[in-house]
Structure 1
Amino acid sequence: MPASSQISPEYVADLEQRLARVEAANTALAEANARLERLLLQSRHARFGPSSEKGDPDQRNLFAEDIEVAEGQLAAAGEAADKALGKAPRQASSTSRNKGRLPEHLERVEEVIEPANTSCPCGCGEMVRVGEDRTERLDVVPARFRVLVTVRPKYMCRACKGTSHAQAPAPEFLVPRGLGTNRFAIHAVVSKFCDYLPFYRQAEIWRREGIEIDRTMLANWAGRVAFHLAPLIDALIDDLKASDHLFADETTVPVLAPRTGKTRKDYLWAVVRDQRGWGGGDPPIVVFQHSRSRSAKTAQEIFRDFQGRQLTVDGYAGYDALSDPKKTNDPWGMAYCWTHWRRRFVEYSRTTPSPICLEMTNRIAQLYRIEAEIRGKAPDVRRAVRQQLSKPIVDALRLWLEGQLDLLSSSSDLARHIRYGLKRWVGLTRFLDDGCIEMDTNAVENAIRPIPLTRKNALFAGNDDGAVTWARMASLIGTCKLNGINPQAYLEHVLDKILNGHMQDDIKSLMPWNFKPNGSKYS
């Protein structure tokens, strides 16, 4: 190093440049370390933390259940003490307090409890009944088996020497000379595709009752159900293809690869019609389709015959081909999901508190409060309110975000999350000009949620045909749930109709929304 008296300006400039490079490297290293720490925390949260941003109230109540159990024990102990001391039990305000609270369709089994003696203590004779107290309590009969014996008497004319005879025709069964009834087969299907209970677990349950029903038999019944319901599912798909303003999403499904003993990752694509947000008249539908790929080519193939041209998705690039005039002659209008964009800032703020994330979530919450007020209103009303109240918030939000980008490092995660939304701004703001568009893909996310639960319990589909059957049965049962219909009652009804010769040209009369259940709706 030269003496201080001999330090040249060039040397000082060189030192300053080297110092600046070191400081830049240190800054980049600090950002990289911070990013790695965020990734580690996010990985831990993904593995061990709650999957929902707002949390499941049932999960939060798990800790309170033990307290509630203790309160029940305390109440029972107090009642036992009062009884031992001869104290009268506390009277309820009304002896009919439970009346009317239980669904009307439930069977009522009356238990009449008469006094041991109805003679007047004064010797006047028998007392006269002048009223009664009625209390309704909910009871349950655990699932039980029974054997349905079908008897078809034969009749013959003796005078004709046996030439004249009569016998009722045998009813149509799903499995001729099979072990189970149609109702049993439907129960197995609903248990798997609605209640996430795979066939091998069902077989274990029945085995505890002494009934040996192999899972392969249950699977065979499910295949027969799918075969007979195929025209109905095809009609459901055709109805959806004629619809506009749809939602789409996809999820993975493991499928056993032939001759490998391993599973591969396939996909179920979900397409939903749900017009309840803007008071539309078409009933909701969900249709799942199986594919081996998540590519843009697969998306084009799935939506090839659809007449609708407005799709709400999560921003996945595989859908971009649908809106590209260079790749399709009739491009779709794509609306993107605000919830997915918001989720990026929520995830970031879990590991790195940021005023930008807080501001973003607060502004998006303002938009959702407006949406809550106009849900179910006519499209013109929704559009007018959005133009008046939501548009100023959205316009100001974009200017604010663009300003934040100037203050952030271009390589930071937060800048990347901001650019994610700005790049999709046209699709994110499309809801402002169309009252039939929702701000998010919650309709399809809610419909697709049972698939991961079934996937977790069933482990994998045995082959491509099994995955296709999974998709088609999930479509029919999911549509039942969207329309508030009990899948068990509905599938029993339509299977009986189809087995007994329901005309194919009148198949639309069997759609879930045309079903008139005698009992309660699905919940």
Structure 2
Amino acid sequence: AMNLDTQNLPPEVAAYIRSLEQEKQRLEQRKQQLEQEKQLLEKQLVKMQSLNEQLVQMRKRMFGQSSEQIQYVDAQQLDFFNEAEACSDASAPEPGKTTPVKAHARKAKRTKEELTEGLEHKKAVCELPEQEQICAKCGSTMVRIGEKFVRSELVIVPAQVYVVDYYAASYKCAHCEAQTGESYIRQAEAPVPVMKKSMAAPSTVAYVMQEKFQNGVPLYRQEAYWKGQGVGLRRNTMANWVIRSARWFKPLYEQLRRELLRQDIVNVDET
């Protein structure tokens, strides 16, 4: 603190010195206040870090890896890029191979027939080139005597996207036109769209909804997939499709509701 004797100073100077002392006191008070706020902020940061760690642990328990082989890139995200390497097992048997056990070897539970059960089979015949159908011993043309099964392959064809342009055909009665000079015209009716003023086909909406609700693929990932296929299908458009198409499920909902209310006991999972 200043210990100046202001009694012998001019009034203007004395007043100025007093104002400086008051300002210094205010600065000291402000400094103390800032120090208190700093300590409070540090406590809040420690609390936030603790809560964040608890949240990370909770996410791991709910959505984390089910195997120790799958590693985390960081504390919150699984390493999806190395999923194939982490989950691979060279000893895993192909369908139809034998699975060794202690006492004996037995067939694997799933065979090739079980794997392809219910699937369409297309036959691919590997023919000899025409120039190789000549006998190497005498030079005569060889005769086909049969074929031998070699192997089966499981083929997956990605989703195919194309546009159907509907045209309504028009017809007129030439006889009426010749007799009366007026034409009787009829025009065919196009199928009713699943949604008015929309390019969505029923199969397209069904695919989007199946991917979202059954397979758990969110709309933003579907948007990225279709972009890779050259289709500019935005997530908000697909969201509109899902919402507007919900009306088609109202009869099913009402039927399920009536069936539910007829039951004597109803179990509810409130988790």
Change (3 A) 1:101 1:223: closer
The match for 2:28 is none
2:158 maps to amino acid: P
Change (3 A) 1:122 1:157: farther
1:223 to 234, 240, 243: 243
Answer whether contact 2:167 2:190 (CA < 8 A) is retained. no
Change (3 A) 1:211 1:51: closer
Mapped partners of 1:155, 1:103: distance in 2: 48
1:183 counterpart = 2:191 = no
The match for 2:126 is 113
Answer whether contact 1:99 1:135 (CA < 8 A) is retained. no
Q: TM-score under structure 2 normalisation?
A: 0.54
Q: TM-score under structure 1 normalisation?
A: 0.30
Answer whether contact 2:205 2:242 (CA < 8 A) is retained. yes
Mapped partners of 2:67, 2:123: distance in 1: 38
| Higher RCO (CA 8 Å, separation ≥ 6 residues) | 1
The Cα shift of 1:146 comes to: 1.2
The match for 2:58 is 47
Change (3 A) 1:242 1:148: same
1:103 maps to amino acid: E
2:117 maps to amino acid: P
Mapped partners of 1:68, 1:196: distance in 2: 21
1:126 to 142, 165, 170: 142
The match for 2:24 is none
The match for 1:249 is 269
The Cα shift of 1:239 comes to: 0.8
The match for 1:146 is 162
Written as runs of structure 1 = structure 2, the 5 A alignment for 1:84-483 is: 98-99=112-113, 101-104=115-118, 106-116=119-129, 117-123=132-138, 124-161=140-177, 163-251=183-271
Answer whether contact 2:205 2:241 (CA < 8 A) is retained. yes
The Cα shift of 1:121 comes to: 2.6
Change (3 A) 1:158 1:62: same
2:136 maps to amino acid: P
Structure 2 segments unaligned to the other structure (5+ residues): 1-50, 72-82, 92-110
- CA radius of gyration, larger in: 2
Change (3 A) 1:65 1:215: closer
Answer whether contact 1:155 1:166 (CA < 8 A) is retained. yes
The Cα shift of 1:226 comes to: 0.7
The match for 1:18 is none
1:59 counterpart = 2:79 = no
Mapped partners of 1:48, 1:232: distance in 2: 35
Mapped partners of 2:239, 2:113: distance in 1: 43
The Cα shift of 1:100 comes to: 5.9
Change (3 A) 1:132 1:241: same
Mapped partners of 2:171, 2:125: distance in 1: 44
Change (3 A) 1:48 1:198: closer
Could you say which structure has the higher helix fraction? 1
Mapped partners of 1:241, 1:159: distance in 2: 62
The Cα shift of 1:156 comes to: 2.2
SS at match of 1:246: coil
The Cα shift of 1:68 comes to: 7.1
The Cα shift of 1:171 comes to: 0.7
Change (3 A) 1:129 1:208: same
Percent identity for Structure 1 against Structure 2:
23
Mapped partners of 2:250, 2:62: distance in 1: 35
Structure 1 segments unaligned to the other structure (5+ residues): 1-39, 73-96, 252-523
Computed over aligned residues only, the root mean square deviation of the Cα atoms, in angstroms, reads: 3.5
The Cα shift of 1:209 comes to: 2.6
Pairs aligned (count): 182
Mapped partners of 1:200, 1:45: distance in 2: 24
Change (3 A) 1:99 1:126: farther
Answer whether contact 1:98 1:137 (CA < 8 A) is retained. no
Change (3 A) 1:48 1:233: closer
SS at match of 2:246: helix
SS at match of 1:247: coil
Mapped partners of 1:155, 1:171: distance in 2: 18
2:156 maps to amino acid: V
Query: Stretches of 4+ moved more than 6 A in 1?
Result: none
Mapped partners of 2:217, 2:156: distance in 1: 21
Deviations 1:110-154 (A, max 9, x none): 332212222333334322232331532111122232112334332
The match for 1:25 is none
Mapped partners of 2:59, 2:203: distance in 1: 40
